[in-house]
Structure 1
Amino acid sequence: MKATIIETNSTPFAKEDVDTITLDIIENALRNAREEMDATLFRTAMSPGIREQGDAFPLIADRNGLMVVGQFGSFIGGFLNQYEGDIEEGDMVWLSDPYSCEGAVSHNNDWLILRPIFRNGRLISWACMFGHMTDIGGKVPGSLPTDAVSVFEEGVRIPPVKLFKKDVLQDDLLKLVLHQTRMPEWCRADLLAVVASCRVAEKRVHEICDRFGDEFYASATDELLSRNKRAMAHLINTAIGESPVSFEDYICDDGRGFGPYKIKCTMWREGEKVVLDFNGTDPQAMGSINFYLNENMLKMFFGIYMVMVFDPQIMFNDGFYDLCDVRIPQGSLLKPNFPAALSCRTHALGRIFDVLGALLGKGQPEFLSAAGFSSSPHLMYSGFEKESGDWFQLFQIGFGGIPGRPFGDGPDGHSLWPGFTNVPNEFLERYFPMRITRYTSLADSGGAGSFRGGNGILMTYEFLNNGIVAIHDDRWFIPPWGVNGGTPGARSSKILRKADGTEIPLPSKCDNIEVEVGDQLDYITWGGGGWGKAFERDADLVALEVKQGLVTKECAYDAYGVKLNEDGTVDHAATEGKRKELAAAHIDGEIFDFGPDLETLRENCKAETGLEAPIQPSW
């Protein structure tokens, strides 16, 4: 650890026995404090990305920087390893550069605040949060250029610096950074909202310590981490075998016309440890889809998936991290060399969840899910308002289809991150020069199965002001796979319909698309893959979904084998015959349905998508 913690009291924390009931009280007090951090942020931030959608991640850590409660795993270790300075009571550290903190944050737009919490001269805890800033400068509005080749094109990079020293705001530093952004008022408000959230957590930690004592609090956080480790050790031992299993999936393109890019992981257990080895992942891309993946962040991804799939009652924290051995090749897509561009890293981030889900499902087929909405697609719209001349800038995260699962359908139009919410259409129309003419689940976009993949979303924006649009998305070329007889979900697409009637298919990653008054954009996200054989799905449920507009009558017959009468009820005799036909044609044995192979996808790409197939990258 390079960072130096300045403590005026060098007395070690004494170990105290912590009873189960009091431990649960402290656990829930910390959980509530973490929720209060979110509430404070969402009520005081200005940008819709944070205030409306919740693109921010809080945590409360122990004195060693291990997350005790939170959402995204601890950022603190990477910071402490690279910060060549001291940490004192009253400091608040601010950073955003992934290369300055071992990938503790993954792109420059995420502004991270770290607050050390001292008690009686000793560091006892940390409060931290980062939030996505709408704009931090750089070559394009939104600071997420799809065609960037280096991090220097992606806006201001903030190394670890002290925003507060002894609780005094370093206003000149803040002014210097805000001067680089197109949205200084929003960035200032959002940053200070993050600061306020960390202060709330600090206050709650002090209240817990006032009630139970400093030594007891330190012992309780130790035990909360140990309890997580014991639970995760049991899950790892029962869910993961010693024989290696491998899986690979792809990012469709890099925003510069090359792709697809492979992410491969092999998993096995050695004693009580799980090994996650990403050898075989493609080298880093020239474009901005690289993801500088901190090993602890990958452990967090793995832990979240294990807890949510196998035992959601386990309190997720960093306690189990030394049970994971993560191996990521340097110079690969997931650990690029400086100064590789990182602004489109969300596609790799999401695809890792699909890969982990497939690996765990291979060992435990009863828990296998299909591929789902493994990304956070962005729409950015900006320009100068024609009447006032004021600059406007929208950053919005899109939603899509969650995969079919062994216990139910995938939700329609949901987020990769469960805590994200949509921006209300009324908000968009009130604060931006646009009209939302359609916002609907796209029928048949979810893969067919006994449990249906969630449908993607069709959202149509009508622009009321000239401006420029940027898009970040994926799964336009390679579809999200189905499992256990379920079919792949539909791919994403973006169509710009000009006011004169011309239709232009847009790439999934593009910047500086000029739009004029009256133009419309059909923003279509992909659906989740299906789970299980579609011809085994309850026929009356299929009929209901046709009535609800989630499945078309044609798909009900062709994929599910359900024949409907004119009044929408099931024709049981015709349905039985069609389902026998589908069952006879079905071939058992294949777990995954990836759809057409890459060669076929390339051959048909132009006809099916209106876009040229990506060029296979070479290194």
Structure 2
Amino acid sequence: MKTVDPITLDIIENALKNARFEMDGVVVRIALSPVIREQHDEFPMICNERGQMIVGQFGSYIPAIVEKFQGDLNEGDIFVWNDPYACKGSISHNNDWCVMMPIFHEGVLVGFSSIFGHMVDVGGKVPGSMPADAYSIWEEGLRIPPVRIYDKGVLNAGVLDIMLNNTRTPDMNRADLMALIAGCRTAATRVRELCDRFGRDTYMAACDMLLDRTHEAMKVLIDKYISEEPVTFTDYVDDDGVGNGPFKMTLSIYRKGDTAVFDWTGTDPQAEGPINFHIHEGLCKLFFGVYMIMAFDPSILFNEGFYDLFEIVLPEGSLLNPRFPAALSNRLNTHTRFFDCQAGALGQRAPHLSMAAGYGTSPHFIFTGHDQDGKYFQLMELLFGGVPGRPRGDGLDGHAWWPLFSATPIEYIENYYPVLIESYRPIRDSGGAGLHRGGAGIAKTYRLLETGRVSIHDDREIVPPWGINGGLYGGTSSKWIVRKATGETERIPSKIDNLAVEAGDVVVFNTAGSGGWGDPLDRPAESVARDVRHDLVSPQAARDFYGVVLTPANVPDDAATEALRADMRTRRGEPEPFNFGYVPEQAEAAE
């Protein structure tokens, strides 16, 4: 294999990283929907000629698509799809439209660029296309198998017409789709420039070397942090939206030689409702690899070089490998619990490097109706919660699981939709107590200015996010509506569609917090007092959970604090490695 000198390799690596972020920039400048334009719910990647991801986040699904077309790839071709079952789980619900473009240099295939992004609506039984009560994927909107949207540079208008004819938001979807395509074309241009600058053979050899480098680095992490003796961890999804749950997710991790095995045996069977996560095996590998890199050595490049070092066991017919046509639209409740299980299992071998559990889903709020001019509106917003306490410090308050996501600006919502945001603030005491406090959930209050319907999807209402290394569990989620007509306050389920609302009604959306990291009795008293002054922790919680006694001015009383903490340590003993707050099996036994 051709070798590339370290400086050239570094230049190519960083040029590809920059191209990946340029793809993001192009997409958000062209897209129209708030979910992509404002919240950045799109995920680009650049692959080599074999379809292996070199830079990106979600891992490559390219080989499964190329296999379908039996090598019939041409310059100017662009492919699109969204059907999870038709692409082996590379896309995990119908709202994600995926675009893929083969990249040629002087007639030679040198790689692929690809992006998928969340469309605000793809048809189906409810606005937003993520019904809480779906029993099959047929209820969740248009399913598109891998097809050419551009054939040798020519738009396939018929395919586009079918796609846009099956959505309530055709203008947004068209703009968002073209944004994804533009992002892929941008990456293709940058790859061709690298081939021109360094030579095609050098560029392709550099891609291979980047994969090999990640492979060798991951071997070190596996040997250091994964033992031959299995470690097992279990967490839960509250419910499936149709009355069943909680659902158990069990993960066992162990090593066979140089291979790390991630075994989901013991996970509950697939749900009737739409929380099933039809995960691609390669994507599963990437999630584990990314977590290990972020927890143990963030200097390693995310790519697929470590794939042959991982073995994945996904029992057929389970929550993580459901049989067609299981409903999938709200799989993010399961998806994010996947990360919590990783943290819990890996944290047993390296607790000093692991983290607690977070808000554990992707809460969303959808408000639809017609304004005074009879024009249809459809607001969809992703909300965030508490990111868990970590070895390096406190968790983040009201933050996204996905690093590049951002909150929809209030000005954007109020300018384009009949909604006023009356408050947006962290929830006091929702971050689990710890040496490093868990991030707080957020409370967002919407005053609705038109009659319409609201859909809400969330989780962690029953099973709270657990704490680690002596840290305590975090706060759960809740939803409320205050009716203008009566002034009465009603609780809303965490998963509900088409709730009728009137102009003037107020919806309060409280997301879950996250677990704390480390013994809360070791947290500096002044840090606790600062949290009290910032209204993140109540004075009572400061005393009960942190052992911090405050003066009326919310300043620590050092002598009283020292005495109280000594007494609490004596009565408590050594803290538990995990603090769950609620375990379904134990709750059933108590009943």
Indicate whether 1:351 and 2:334 are aligned: no
Q: Which residue of 2 aligns with 1:482?
A: 467
Q: How does 1:579-590 map to 2 (within 5 A)?
A: 579-588=565-574, 590=576
Cα distance in 2 for partners of 1:85, 1:30 equals: 25
Secondary structure of 2:472's partner?
A: coil
Q: Render the CA deviation track for 1:430-468: whole Å, top value 9, x for unaligned.
A: 111011111001110001111111110011111001111
Q: Which residue of 2 aligns with 1:60?
A: 46
Q: Which residue of 1 aligns with 2:20?
A: 34
Q: Which residue of 1 aligns with 2:293?
A: 307
Q: Which residue of 2 aligns with 1:443?
A: 428
Indicate whether 1:258 and 2:244 are aligned: yes
Q: How does 1:391-430 map to 2 (within 5 A)?
A: 391-430=376-415
The aligned amino acid for 1:485 is G
- Distance apart, 1:120 and its partner CA: 2.6
Within the candidate set 138, 153, 172, 1:167 is matched to 153
Q: Tell whether the 8 Å contact from 2:425 to 2:444 is kept in structure 1 after alignment.
A: yes
Q: Render the CA deviation track for 1:477-511: whole Å, top value 9, x for unaligned.
A: 01111112111101000011111211111111110
Indicate whether 1:521 and 2:521 are aligned: no
Indicate whether 1:367 and 2:353 are aligned: yes
Q: Tell whether the 8 Å contact from 1:433 to 1:463 is kept in structure 2 after alignment.
A: yes
Q: How does 1:3-402 map to 2 (within 5 A)?
A: 15-83=1-69, 86-385=72-371, 387-402=372-387
Q: Tell whether the 8 Å contact from 1:79 to 1:102 is kept in structure 2 after alignment.
A: no
Cα distance in 2 for partners of 1:312, 1:51 equals: 28
Q: How does 1:499-510 map to 2 (within 5 A)?
A: 499=484, 500-510=486-496
What is the TM-score when the length of structure 1 is the normalising length?
Answer: 0.94
Cα distance in 2 for partners of 1:400, 1:217 equals: 41
Indicate whether 1:462 and 2:430 are aligned: no
Cα distance in 2 for partners of 1:475, 1:42 equals: 30
Q: Render the CA deviation track for 1:170-206: whole Å, top value 9, x for unaligned.
A: 1121011101100000000000000000000000011
Cα distance in 1 for partners of 2:253, 2:585 equals: 28
Cα distance in 2 for partners of 1:376, 1:339 equals: 23
The aligned amino acid for 1:410 is G
Q: Tell whether the 8 Å contact from 1:92 to 1:116 is kept in structure 2 after alignment.
A: yes
Q: How does 1:588-603 map to 2 (within 5 A)?
A: 588=574, 590-598=576-584, 601=587
Cα distance in 2 for partners of 1:587, 1:395 equals: 47
Cα distance in 2 for partners of 1:588, 1:430 equals: 53
Q: What RMSD over aligned residues (CA atoms) do the two structures have, in Å?
A: 1.4
Secondary structure of 2:347's partner?
A: helix
Cα distance in 2 for partners of 1:530, 1:415 equals: 17
- Distance apart, 1:589 and its partner CA: 5.7
- Distance apart, 1:75 and its partner CA: 2.0
Q: Tell whether the 8 Å contact from 1:282 to 1:333 is kept in structure 2 after alignment.
A: yes
Secondary structure of 2:207's partner?
A: helix
Q: Tell whether the 8 Å contact from 1:477 to 1:601 is kept in structure 2 after alignment.
A: no
Identical positions, percent: 49
Q: Render the CA deviation track for 1:555-582: whole Å, top value 9, x for unaligned.
A: 1111111111112211122212221221
Q: Tell whether the 8 Å contact from 2:519 to 2:575 is kept in structure 1 after alignment.
A: no
- Distance apart, 1:407 and its partner CA: 2.2
Q: Which runs of 4+ in 1 moved over 6 A?
A: 602-605
- Distance apart, 1:528 and its partner CA: 0.7
Secondary structure of 1:107's partner?
A: coil
Cα distance in 2 for partners of 1:374, 1:69 equals: 26
Cα distance in 1 for partners of 2:132, 2:21 equals: 34
Indicate whether 1:433 and 2:418 are aligned: yes
Cα distance in 2 for partners of 1:338, 1:75 equals: 19
Cα distance in 1 for partners of 2:64, 2:367 equals: 34
- Distance apart, 1:85 and its partner CA: 7.2
Q: Render the CA deviation track for 1:224-266: whole Å, top value 9, x for unaligned.
A: 1111111111111111111111111110000011101111111
Deviates more, 1:558-567 or 1:458-467: 558-567
Cα distance in 2 for partners of 1:587, 1:100 equals: 54
- Distance apart, 1:599 and its partner CA: 6.0
Q: Render the CA deviation track for 1:11-32: whole Å, top value 9, x for unaligned.
A: xxxx422111100000111111
Structure 2 vs 1, CA of residues 410 and 604 (structure 1 numbering), >3 Å: closer, same or farther?
Answer: farther
Cα distance in 2 for partners of 1:325, 1:568 equals: 52
Cα distance in 2 for partners of 1:599, 1:359 equals: 19
Q: Tell whether the 8 Å contact from 1:373 to 1:415 is kept in structure 2 after alignment.
A: no
The aligned amino acid for 1:304 is V
Q: Which residue of 2 aligns with 1:494?
A: 479
Name structure 1 gaps, 5 residues minimum. Answer: 1-14, 606-619
Deviates more, 1:213-222 or 1:569-578: 569-578
- Distance apart, 1:373 and its partner CA: 2.5
Cα distance in 2 for partners of 1:16, 1:584 equals: 65
Q: Render the CA deviation track for 1:529-566: whole Å, top value 9, x for unaligned.
A: 01122121111111111111111111111111111111
Q: Which residue of 2 aligns with 1:452?
A: 437
Cα distance in 1 for partners of 2:205, 2:585 equals: 58
Cα distance in 2 for partners of 1:572, 1:604 equals: 40
Secondary structure of 1:362's partner?
A: coil
The aligned amino acid for 2:318 is S
Cα distance in 2 for partners of 1:589, 1:487 equals: 10
Cα distance in 1 for partners of 2:523, 2:219 equals: 37
Q: Tell whether the 8 Å contact from 1:81 to 1:101 is kept in structure 2 after alignment.
A: no
Secondary structure of 1:319's partner?
A: helix
Cα distance in 2 for partners of 1:79, 1:398 equals: 32
Name structure 2 gaps, 5 residues minimum. Answer: none
The aligned amino acid for 2:182 is A
Q: Tell whether the 8 Å contact from 2:360 to 2:460 is kept in structure 1 after alignment.
A: no
- Distance apart, 1:602 and its partner CA: 6.5
The aligned amino acid for 1:456 is G
Structure 2 vs 1, CA of residues 138 and 604 (structure 1 numbering), >3 Å: closer, same or farther?
Answer: farther
The aligned amino acid for 1:169 is L
Secondary structure of 1:504's partner?
A: strand
Q: Which residue of 2 aligns with 1:12?
A: none
Q: Tell whether the 8 Å contact from 1:476 to 1:492 is kept in structure 2 after alignment.
A: yes
Q: Render the CA deviation track for 1:141-172: whole Å, top value 9, x for unaligned.
A: 00000100010100000000000001001112
Cα distance in 2 for partners of 1:596, 1:326 equals: 29
Deviates more, 1:555-564 or 1:83-92: 83-92
Structure 2 vs 1, CA of residues 203 and 603 (structure 1 numbering), >3 Å: closer, same or farther?
Answer: same
- Distance apart, 1:601 and its partner CA: 5.0
- Distance apart, 1:367 and its partner CA: 1.2
Cα distance in 2 for partners of 1:306, 1:501 equals: 50
Secondary structure of 1:367's partner?
A: coil
Cα distance in 2 for partners of 1:537, 1:287 equals: 42
Number of residue equivalences: 590
Q: Tell whether the 8 Å contact from 2:295 to 2:354 is kept in structure 1 after alignment.
A: no
